[in-house]
Amino acid sequence: MPPILPGIEALSPRLVPPVLAPAPGRRGRISVTVYAALGLLLLAAGLGTVVPGELGEFFQGSWEVVLFAALCVLAYLGVERRWARVLAGVLLGVLLLLAVGLNTTFSWLAIAGEPITNPPRQSLPPGGAALLAWIAAATLLAALSALLAWLPGFRRLCTPLTGNAEWTSVRTLALAVVVSFTLVACVPLLALGEPPMLLFLESSDAAASLLADARGAAGMLRDQMYSLSWTLVAATLAVGHGIRRNGRETLSRLGLRRVSIKQVGVAVLLTAALLGMMHVADLGITQVWQHFGWRMTDGRALEALFDPFISPLGAVVIGICAGVGEEVAVRGILQPRLGILLPNLLFTALHAYQYNWDGLLAVFLIGLVLGLIRKRTSTTVSAMVHGGYDFVLVILAVLESGSGG
């Protein structure tokens, strides 16, 4: 099983949001820290369009989270302000329309096997245009599933999964984000039969360099760190810092706590256990898929996708970014309010651009384990296990490539 990061998150505009995590509020005012954090994200996003060089690349990392950060702020303000709830709904609609465009773009690349030009070349194979139109329509329909979150009956169905029967406006919006983005992310795989990124790599010799966007391996690793830094800024807004919580309460809500030497040791043991468990699970999944003749994730295309990250430095960077970034977003922000299963479905679906269903099942199992670790300990511990797992797998890939295997 390859590392569960990076994937679409590393090679394209992110769909991974620091999504919403509601809590009953004590304060209705927005503090200066919120203005500062959101203003910083907006300023960085603007500077990313005009500042050249590496500094511009750093600013561009904020594009991936700035709209979701604004959505979170509006959601918390909307607990007491109707206008903010309305704007949050409008912004969610904008984000879902962007997701429709993103799915269509990835699918075009996969079908055509070449980048989209302006104007587009007539490069789609017979039936490709119809398939692309179907994907766009299906994605739009999946995006409309966000409306289910506002149906009382649907929320009642979700209540046993979340363990909380109180549906605030923020928590409802969080449910809408999770349901819609989970379904949206699965559309290309369902339509194409293979992950769009791997299909693109299989159809074009120049695809790997195109996905790297001429950044090279070192540049792509830096991009991972840039993305993480902006994600952490946005994560504080995602749990109501400056509106519902102060700094200490924000860290507690995210599950980021100090760990003892004993807990570090526990994290190491859990990492080893997870590696062993997934080794056995991967063997079982492979046996089942081969028995039924189902399509499996293309190993060679996956190696090409991850190739820029296969190095000792890549192992460290991916371990940190996967461990901290994804755990804060999924297990830190979402899980305390929506339970283990629903956030894990989103976590799994966002890997559907790079894995077929066999790989997604493995990711789902990993997410369940990390969710249980987060529930019993903290996000800090689950982040160490997640990061340690990916670190070991990248190192094993490095050793394998060095031995000519």
pLDDT computed for residue 285 by the predictor: 97
pLDDT at site 27: 46
Between 382 and 244, name the one with better pLDDT.
Answer: 382
Separation in Å, CA 226 to CA 10, 39, 128, 199, 252: 11, 17, 36, 28, 24
State the Cα–Cα distance between residues 97 and 86, nearest whole angstrom. Answer: 17
DSSP symbol at 241: B
Please give the span between the terminal C-alpha atoms of the chain, in angstroms, as a whole number.
16
Lowest-pLDDT choice from 23-27, 160-164, 204-208? 23-27
Range in 87-91, 128-132, 208-212, 264-268 with the lowest mean pLDDT: 208-212
Length of the chain: 405
Predicted confidence at residue 302, as pLDDT, reads: 86
- Are 187 and 139 spatial neighbours (Cβ–Cβ below 8 Å)? yes
What would the mean pLDDT of 235-256 be, rounded to a whole number?
92
Task: Note the pLDDT of residue 14.
Answer: 39
- The pLDDT of residue 122 is 54
**Percent of the chain clearing pLDDT 70 (strictly above):** 86
Q: Which amino acid is residue 292, in one-letter code?
A: F
pLDDT value for 363: 97
| CA–CA dist 329, 347 (Å, integer) | 9
**Residue 38: pLDDT band by 50, 70, 90 thresholds?**
confident
Tell me the pLDDT of the chain averaged across its residues: 87
Q: What is the pLDDT of residues 285-341, one digit of tens each?
A: 999 999 999 999 988 888 888 888 999 999 999 999 989 999 999 999 999 999 999
E strand or H helix at 204:
none
Token pair, residue 110, equals 């996969």
Quickly state the pLDDT bin for 145 (edges 50, 70, 90): very high
> Between the CA of residue 3 and those of 137, 149, 301, what are the distances in Å?
32, 32, 14
99-113, 135-149, 206-220, 317-331: segment of lowest average pLDDT: 206-220
Alpha-carbon distance 186 to 99, whole Å? 12
Q: What is the mean pLDDT of residues 42-51?
A: 91
pLDDT of residue 22: 41
**pTM to 2 decimal places:** 0.89
Q: What digits encode the pLDDT tens for the residues 330-370?
A: 999 999 999 999 999 999 999 999 999 999 999 999 999 99
Domain spans, the chain: 8-402
Residue 260: alpha-carbon gap to chain centroid = 29
